[in-house]
Structure formats: C-alpha cells, structure tokens
A and B are shown apart, each in its own frame.
Chain A
Amino acid sequence: AQKVTQAQTEISVVEKEDVTLDCVYETRDTTYYLFWYKQPPSGELVFLIRRNSFDEQNEISGRYSWNFQKSTSSFNFTITASQVVDSAVYFCALSEDDSWGKFQFGAGTQVVVTP
C-alpha cells in the first residue's frame, strides 16, 4: 500500500510565483519523520527539510516553508518567489520509528519554473 502520495505530477509556474507541493502520508506509528528531497536535472538527491511527528510547528527557512498537519496527514511544502533554479523533481518521504531508517518515497512532483 502506498504510504506517501504526491498527487501532483507536474506544476508549471512563472518565475516569482509561489508554488505549493502537496504530500499526504499514511502510517499507524505515533512517531515518524517526514522529509522533502529535491532532485535537480543533474540527478542527485538533495535533502531539504525534516519534520518529526511530535512537532507540528510550521517553519520558514529562506524561500522554503512547510505546513505539517497531523489531523489531515499532510506535509505540504511551499517555495516562495520561485526561481528557475527551483526547477526539479521534489520528493516527499516518510520514515517510521521502527523501520531501521528506511524511507517510503512519494512518486515525486516535477516543478518547472519558466523565466
């Protein structure tokens, strides 16, 4: 069963627009961890953010912000004032507490930022 769902396959925006990526997860664990990774065209996977299930405080880091809501099992990610360099595939991932550090990844959302 898919544990992480990224319903958006591709999002296209014009530079400086905000873009929000949706992520819905499924777990029975009370302790778990959520992540966002970025995969630019070069192919490497770059860690962006991590969130613990017991900390629902939403934060902003530069142009990135995230909205974690346990009630709806969602962990959405927003890029403010997008730039061309933000063009990439973004993956949401879940790691459950007793999973030996294994991650469940969503299918990814392709973000295309045009000038």
Chain B
Amino acid sequence: NAGVTQTPKFRVLKTGQSMTLLCAQDMNHEYMYWYRQDPGMGLRLIHYSVGEGTTAKGEVPDGYNVSRLKKQNFLLGLESAAPSQTSVYFCASSRRQSSRANVLTFGAGSRLTVL
C-alpha cells in the first residue's frame, strides 16, 4: 500500500516559472488537502477537495491553483512562482467525515525552492 504519494520530492524553480505538484492516493479517500509548512508556522492549508471535480480555498490560497479531475489525484499548480512560495508542501487525504474526524494521512512532502 503506497498511501499518499507526492511527486516531485524536490524542485528548484526560478521566479516566474510554473510547475505542478502531483498527489496520488490509493486509499479511495474522498477528501484531499494541500498544506505548506514553513518554520515556526506549522502547517497551513492551501486548498482542499471534498470530492472529484470539487475544490475549495484554504487559509493561504493566493498564488496557487488546484484540480481534482480524478478521485485519486490532487494537483497543486504554481503559475508564476515567487520566492515566498519556497516551502515544504504536504498532501494529505482522509475518508469522508462521519461521526468522528478521520485521521489525515500525509505524503512524504515536496521541498520547493524558488530563487
């Protein structure tokens, strides 16, 4: 069981370049999330999706776009990278929330540096 897989694991971009981070999960989870982790700030939610074809903004969505064309995949795009987007990005997924909050399963992270 792969769980949540993120690609690429590392990437260096120049300011203004674009790129896409791919997240794939094989657990048939309905919910998927993209977080960014910065020193001293914990993890902050960028965008999330509660099902195929649906996306919503999180706490820090500016400069990012997402798509969820297939249930198992959640893509995070940077159209014009900025140095402020240098961060570690984590994808997570969970089952649909019922009577109790479900545990988030995280990918291994993608370290992005924007020069």
The interface of chain A, by Cβ under 8 A from chain B, is 4, 6, 9, 32-33, 35, 43-45, 47, 50, 52, 91, 95, 97, 100-103, 105-108
Contact = CB atoms under 8 A, between A and B. Distances in A.
Interface of B: 31, 33, 35, 40-45, 48, 50, 56, 58, 88, 90, 92, 94, 96-97, 100-106, 108-109
Contacts of A91: 42-43
A100 B109 contact: no
Given A44-B109, A107-B41, 17 more contacts: A4-B42, A32-B101, A33-B100, A33-B101, A44-B106, A44-B108, A45-B43, A45-B90, A45-B106, A50-B100, A95-B101, A100-B56, A101-B97, A101-B101, A103-B33, A105-B42, A107-B40
Given A43-B109, A44-B109, A103 B104 contact: yes
Contacts of A45: 43, 90, 92, 104, 106
A103 B31 CA distance: 12
Nearest to B96: A101
Nearest to B44: A105
B34 to A, nearest CB: 11
A45 B109 CA distance: 9
Nearest to A46: B106
A9 B56 CA distance: 31
A106 B40 CA distance: 9
Contacts of A43: 88, 108-109
B99 to A, nearest CB: 9
B8 to A, nearest CB: 14
A101 B102 contact: yes
Most chain A CB neighbours (cut-off 10 Å) among B35, B48, B104, B105:
B104
A47 B103 contact: yes
22 contacts: A35-B103, A35-B104, A45-B90, A47-B105, A50-B100, A50-B103, A52-B100, A52-B101, A91-B42, A91-B43, A100-B56, A101-B31, A101-B97, A101-B104, A103-B33, A103-B43, A103-B45, A103-B104, A105-B43, A106-B42, A107-B40, A108-B42
